[in-house]
Structure 1
């Protein structure tokens, strides 16, 4: 294939990595698809990127056939679905010119399964997943001789949670040190996205994305509609200042203070003042999705709030479905992967390829009973031990699943030292959770990815030889 004018000859390898106990007892088969550039004689100069999605319960299909791999699902430039039966094309924005890559499906996603006689629930939890995916990465690096390659992880959504956990686990368990971690639509601290009674943290952190969504749908006052980024700066300052303070004061707010917050929340969200009062200043994401365009009979998407859908009726509290997931991307990606793997890669398997489902539920969070999972500390520890570890955080302005402001908050409160903060880079795109379905964002991501790999390789090549 051709990327940035360069012809890349590559080999695709697909199959299973079998997880075993040390005495050789099989436990599970991890399905993978790997792409390696041909003609590379020195693997020390060829990066290797280990890639997965999230869920929990998602296969790696989204990053595989949406952004990083050599093929991508064909959609409109905005990200609208084209007519079935769908198609895919060569991905001229693939990262294959910069890095080899392997896409890994956690147990019970994709074609990955526990072996006969083993309970798949033993892999369905935070700690269990980190251990099994860590072993799969170690096994691939060992079997395919990639220990000397520069090493990267790339995860999306819960895959960023996994990547942060793996950054410390791989380092401490196997002394497997990384050069970079790519966090696409990042969520490291679950408290930032749980709308529980008594947890007011999500409300100010989601507010800028509510404002971006209202801006996109032209629901804001004229002065706020002029420029998205200028508007978001104003909203961010309000969210961290007056709004956060008001939530902390709770019922101790004066009537004047309360009405001031009502007026500004209405101004920044496009929702009525009466509705803001009904929420007691606390706007839940799913209710926002239903309320913003209720008068027009439309709901907005959670994964990508640019998209709209219609429910059976308009009286519900929350949407019946996510128009940016069920109504947009699931069908094309499922059709593409199932055809591509069998017809082109010649991998014959009659199992259903589990794209994104509930077979891993309930997910085991026993490691954080009575508290929220927060893996930011795992990433901080990895960065403290490994001062060369680079972290790239990719955020979509219209992502209501993992809002950009929550990711910023997480990194600003995780206790990074100044020298560590220099190793973190945020980039932003006018897209949603799967930011690559928006073609202008996909093109920009490729440029940003090139910079990451170029910078890391430049640092490696400039290191003094002793």
Structure 2
């Protein structure tokens, strides 16, 4: 997130709540010009390969290409009718296990967040057949980078479709009012929903077990898509897999001071502050067991800390002192600082303060990382050390892989427009965050709260299973926020059994820590097996 609200890192990794990057206008800058044909017709390039996963060699077919989607008002039966002429060519890479029967073989649609991020992060860092090697919690040296067989690819349990957001990757948006047609919470979800339905039809996969895997803003998107697929397309999912969740933006710790009557973000971020202080050895009394320590912090957050914050200015001096002392034990922040902050420290302030004010900031997306402040006197970090440490490796590795292995992006037949792989959008000032919840009357409103969307999908399909994966060291989407949201889905209590939560000693990009990636792979494979025992 950048420009006061969102840090640059969030975008650079394509994984924060919101992201930054290069403006992605369509290649025809003159709005009256017709776009080149290769932007308005589906493209497809086939290749083959093999990946070894936990000792098992899995041959696969890879398909790289684009599909064309239109805004919600588009009438497929009558394309000449008065409707928006905007279109998006959405780039994807799909992997299909050779020899698997489509009706038994699960298919998982995978995407990062942003909004407006390409999906190279999950593709090259988590679940594709190749993985780029990066250092664990420090800056990865410059090129050349190493691309290796991914022992934790999910191709052992599901076919995979990695989808880039409209306007990113090798895809483009075209036509009049194209930004209005795709740059918004609901238009974006509509585009992904249409893409998924079209992909299933074109590849004969309507009868396959179907899953969504979204990260960060991708979890916001998944909640809407799950409901849209059922409501508008008649498509039920077997499971929705969430990574680094944010479903209700009122819970964000980035700038809660702009909503002074809302104390919940401070409560929900506290366990992640404690985990970060534990990792950097800043606690006065360090616990040997992180998990048990965090359960203690969670209890304090929901009880004494919540009560103190609710009292506001009526809190007694004695209670203020006592809570500040306890917060010091759990966060390592100085007592006088905590009192001056009125017991409320936002994410950026914590990142700037924890390491002692020596001009070193922690990471936001992964607080295990640390780096020098661009401006030691600023209130919030100007960049994210984790994103800066890894972005170049992902970008270089994917561009090389796409052109030399997938054979997409370098063919002159596609035209010059495909030469640049767009990593993310610079579109936050043009992005509409309004969201219309299911059965909501009147106009869309908000910052997004998509808990009702996911709840509607679960109530309409009581067999739908939800899996939430979280990193303890994530200050962008704190893990306790995700737990809180899952506990507050407006669903019957008996449906809560359909939700499982897994946590890892990693950050927002859980897969950036190799042991956590191994654990997440195994957990996701088991989740898919449980929700579809016949997977092949």
- TM tier relative to shorter chain: over 0.9
Aligned to 1:264: 326
- 1:323 counterpart = 2:385: yes
TM-score w.r.t. structure 2 length?
0.82
> Cα offset for 1:454?
1.2
Aligned to 1:346: 407
- Whether contact under 8 Å (1:108, 1:360) holds in the other structure is no
Once residues 339 and 439 of structure 1 are traced to their aligned partners in structure 2, the CA distance between those partners, rounded to angstroms, is 22
Q: Deviations over 1:256-289 (max 9, x none)?
A: 1111111111111111111111211110100110
> Cα offset for 1:296?
3.3
- Which one of 325, 335, 338 corresponds to residue 396 of structure 2? 335
Q: Deviations over 1:335-394 (max 9, x none)?
A: 111111111111125442222342354320233666431111111111111111111100
Q: How does 1:373-452 map to 2 (within 5 A)?
A: 373-452=448-527
Aligned to 1:236: 298
Once residues 220 and 299 of structure 2 are traced to their aligned partners in structure 1, the CA distance between those partners, rounded to angstroms, is 27
Q: Deviations over 1:28-83 (max 9, x none)?
A: 2011100001112x311100101111011111111111111111111235575243
Aligned to 1:91: 150
Once residues 303 and 451 of structure 1 are traced to their aligned partners in structure 2, the CA distance between those partners, rounded to angstroms, is 27
- Whether contact under 8 Å (2:435, 2:447) holds in the other structure is no
> Cα offset for 1:418?
3.3
- Whether contact under 8 Å (1:15, 1:32) holds in the other structure is yes
Tell which deviates more after alignment, 309-318 or 391-400: 309-318
Aligned to 2:282: 219
Tell which deviates more after alignment, 412-421 or 196-205: 412-421
Structure 2 unmatched runs, 5+: 1-50, 80-84, 411-417, 437-443
Gap change, CA 1:448 and 1:82, over 3 Å in 2 = farther
Aligned to 1:464: none
Give the secondary-structure state (helix, strand or coil) at the position aligned to 1:11.
strand
Aligned to 1:275: 337
Once residues 138 and 165 of structure 2 are traced to their aligned partners in structure 1, the CA distance between those partners, rounded to angstroms, is 27
Once residues 365 and 279 of structure 1 are traced to their aligned partners in structure 2, the CA distance between those partners, rounded to angstroms, is 30
> Cα offset for 1:252?
0.9
- 1:200 counterpart = 2:263: yes
Aligned to 2:57: 7
- Which one of 416, 423, 426 corresponds to residue 358 of structure 1? 426
- 1:134 counterpart = 2:193: yes
Once residues 88 and 357 of structure 2 are traced to their aligned partners in structure 1, the CA distance between those partners, rounded to angstroms, is 51
Q: Deviations over 1:308-353 (max 9, x none)?
A: 000245332221211011x212111111111111111111254422
Gap change, CA 1:379 and 1:81, over 3 Å in 2 = same
Once residues 357 and 249 of structure 2 are traced to their aligned partners in structure 1, the CA distance between those partners, rounded to angstroms, is 32
Once residues 260 and 102 of structure 1 are traced to their aligned partners in structure 2, the CA distance between those partners, rounded to angstroms, is 52
> Cα offset for 1:5?
2.0
- Whether contact under 8 Å (2:86, 2:181) holds in the other structure is no
- Whether contact under 8 Å (2:185, 2:432) holds in the other structure is yes
Give the secondary-structure state (helix, strand or coil) at the position aligned to 2:281.
coil
> Cα offset for 1:145?
0.7
- Whether contact under 8 Å (1:28, 1:107) holds in the other structure is yes
Give the secondary-structure state (helix, strand or coil) at the position aligned to 2:155.
coil
- Whether contact under 8 Å (2:136, 2:514) holds in the other structure is yes
Give the secondary-structure state (helix, strand or coil) at the position aligned to 1:9.
strand
Q: Deviations over 1:140-190 (max 9, x none)?
A: 011111100000000000000000110101100001110000101011111
Give the secondary-structure state (helix, strand or coil) at the position aligned to 1:43.
coil
Give the secondary-structure state (helix, strand or coil) at the position aligned to 2:113.
coil
- 1:35 counterpart = 2:85: no
Give the secondary-structure state (helix, strand or coil) at the position aligned to 1:39.
coil
- Which one of 213, 217, 222 corresponds to residue 158 of structure 1? 217
Give the secondary-structure state (helix, strand or coil) at the position aligned to 2:273.
helix
Give the secondary-structure state (helix, strand or coil) at the position aligned to 2:468.
strand
- Whether contact under 8 Å (1:79, 1:439) holds in the other structure is no
Once residues 349 and 183 of structure 2 are traced to their aligned partners in structure 1, the CA distance between those partners, rounded to angstroms, is 30
Once residues 88 and 445 of structure 2 are traced to their aligned partners in structure 1, the CA distance between those partners, rounded to angstroms, is 30
TM-score w.r.t. structure 1 length?
0.94
Aligned to 2:413: none
Gap change, CA 1:117 and 1:342, over 3 Å in 2 = farther
Total equivalences in the alignment: 457
Structure 1 unmatched runs, 5+: 462-466
Give the secondary-structure state (helix, strand or coil) at the position aligned to 2:241.
strand
Gap change, CA 1:360 and 1:107, over 3 Å in 2 = farther
